[in-house]
Structure 1
Amino acid sequence: MGASFINIIPLIPQHEFRNHRPPDCRELKAARTAAEEYLPVFRHCRQCRADACGIPGGTDFTDKLYDQRLIAVSHG
């Protein structure tokens, strides 16, 4: 259908899913590995693209926009 890659990120359990745990790093890696059979997997994302700055793999404008950079935990 024209897709050139897929982005698999864990959802934050909320509302009806609030009692479900998010996938751990091992489960997320397994999902990404399975998906790579069909499409390249975009692995730059951690949880949410809402705080993204710049182009992944290119210029990062985070330091220019925020006073301090928070340490993020990557899921793979």
Structure 2
Amino acid sequence: MNSQIDNEMEDELQPEYDFTQLEGGVRGKYVDRYRAGTNLVRLDPDVAKSFPTENAVNEALRLLMQIAQRQPANNPISQSD
């Protein structure tokens, strides 16, 4: 049974993933950027169509922030009896 598990594990790695051909990789290359708080967000395809660049996303979010700041605080509406 154990050899069957070993064979299944070996079969998962496809031949095109030949790690012996990889050269020049640097371990932890982006760790400083990650620790600095880089925030990556994956956009759904329909959103990415409307906002194809990083700048387009940032501009839209800044505009939304400005609109939100102009709105009055969420106060309960007083009803007259």
The TM-score normalised by the length of structure 2 is 0.23
- With normalisation by structure 1, the TM-score equals 0.24
The structure with more helix, counted as a fraction of residues: 2
**Greater Rg over alpha carbons, structure:** 2
